[in-house]
Amino acid sequence: MSMSLPAEGACTTGPVLHIYPETIEANARSICGQLTGIDIVGVTKATCANPFVARALVAGGAKALGDSRVDNLRRLRHEGLGVPLWLLRSPTPAQADEVVKVADVVLVAELETMRALDAAAEAAGGCAARRLGLVVMVDMGDLREGIMPTELDTFMHSARHLCHADVVGIGTNLTCYGAVVPTRNNLSELLSLTELAENILGRRLLVSGGNSSSLESAFAEGLPKGITGLRVGESILLGVSTITRQPLPGLAPNAFVLEAPVIECRIKPTVPLGRIAQNAFGTKPRFANRGHRLCAICALGRQDCLPEGLQPMQTGVQILGASSDHLIVDVGDAVPAPAIGRSLYFLPNYGCLLAAFTSPYVEKRIHSG
């Protein structure tokens, strides 16, 4: 793969995730610039609300930041980034008191939760610096969160009785679970449902028309008029479509690079010797016989990332598999061949990035300027 690698420095002792905020900012600016009239909520959850990533999203034009975890929102609130903070996963009612302290907008789909948030907002009283906004999520077919469309009428009539929190919008999530693709049909239906909700509440509502998966249609033909915002994470962070996982025009794919030091390198057979049972993760692996090859073992494993989501940046490198803390790589065609203590470099996909940020064993290294 033709792409520059991080500059070689002192030999690393473990895996390192290299982070390039300027690339994230440029990707965010490109997306925001192409979507006139659409407010982008920059999603930080894959990076555990890393403050450098959050600042880059805001600098690139994100009008708000979103995360699915209250702890992450608390971290973002402490950073004082000057934009509204969205809680993207509905809290439990027991979390309501904490949520009203850190979130400006919350995605919800249960009346019990809405009432708990309303009560918590009342308890906060004059100490609350802002009035809590609620975005009612509607399931448009992906079968993750959201009320069913037929429930909206009754749901919104109940929501009219909230006194200390406001329904400010209608939203949907697509592609994350059921892999349902956003289309003009399902987004237009969302707009019709929003009109119903607006008539019940007697005010205009924002329409959060999905996540990164809505970008392809937005770029190609534009979103239906009335969609006011999207929640975008992966496409900004990794520069790819979440429908095809192919690069999106004008976006860079190398905002994150995962480095793994080589701890062993020798010629070995490519098929295990002896009776094969289950591996450490309960599956019976299959192996292609490629003869004897030069193989490297890197200090990186399933406790740190999803090996299937790694894309080697050096030519002639092929991932064979991994255990909890070892990555096995065919480097027989690598030029130059890796040396002990030196590193191999990989681009992570979304799942791999999420795991690497979550793992305490992966060093996070920021590159600025």
Structure confidence at residue 271 (pLDDT): 86
**HSE-CB of 329 using CA atoms within 13 angstroms:** 34
- Are the C-beta atoms of 350 and 2 separated by less than 8 Å? no
Specify the CATH number for 21-238; select among 3.30.930.10, 3.30.70.360, 2.50.20.10, 3.20.20.10.
3.20.20.10
Give the type of residue at 77. R
- Are the C-beta atoms of 29 and 57 separated by less than 8 Å? no
Is omega for the bond preceding 15 within 30 degrees of 0, making it cis?
Answer: no
Q: What average pLDDT does the chain have? A: 94
- Are the C-beta atoms of 297 and 326 separated by less than 8 Å? yes
For residue 207, give the H/E element and its range.
Answer: strand 206-208
Per-residue pLDDT averaged across 167-188, rounded? Answer: 96
Per-residue pLDDT averaged across 204-230, rounded? Answer: 95
- Partnered with residue 295 across adjacent β-strands are 266, 330
Structure confidence at residue 277 (pLDDT): 84
Residue 102 confidence (pLDDT) above 60? yes
The answer to whether residue 63 is catalytic is no
Would you place residue 1 in the very low, low, confident or very high pLDDT band (cuts 50, 70, 90)? very low
- Are the C-beta atoms of 229 and 215 separated by less than 8 Å? no
Structure confidence at residue 5 (pLDDT): 75
pTM of the model: 0.94
Alpha-carbon distance of 193 to 195, in angstroms, equals 5
Residue 333 confidence (pLDDT) above 50? yes
SS3 label, residue 189: helix
Residue 9 confidence (pLDDT) above 60? no
Percent pLDDT > 70 in the chain is: 97
Lowest-confidence range among 128-132, 233-237, 271-275, 357-361?
Answer: 128-132
Name the range with the highest mean pLDDT among 118-132, 239-253, 269-283: 239-253
Question: Looking at the chain, how many residues does it have?
Answer: 369
Q: What secondary structure letter does DSSP report for 57?
A: H
Helices (H), 148-307: 152-159, 184-201, 215-220, 234-238
- Are the C-beta atoms of 289 and 347 separated by less than 8 Å? no
Would you place residue 270 in the very low, low, confident or very high pLDDT band (cuts 50, 70, 90)? confident
Q: Which of 45, 63, 268, 364 is the catalytic position?
A: 45
Higher pLDDT, 216 or 135: 135
Per-residue pLDDT averaged across 304-319, rounded? Answer: 96
Query: Which distant-in-sequence residues (6+ apart) come within 8 Å of 336 by Cβ?
Result: none
pLDDT in tens, 32-64: 999 999 999 999 999 999 999 999 999 999 999
State both tokens at 83.
Answer: 């934009």
Structure confidence at residue 128 (pLDDT): 52
Structure confidence at residue 12 (pLDDT): 76
Domain ranges of the chain: 21-238, 256-366
Q: What secondary structure letter does DSSP report for 201?
A: H
Give the type of residue at 152. L
Lowest-confidence range among 174-183, 216-225, 270-279, 356-365?
Answer: 270-279
For residue 3, give the H/E element and its range.
Answer: none
Would you place residue 288 in the very low, low, confident or very high pLDDT band (cuts 50, 70, 90)? confident
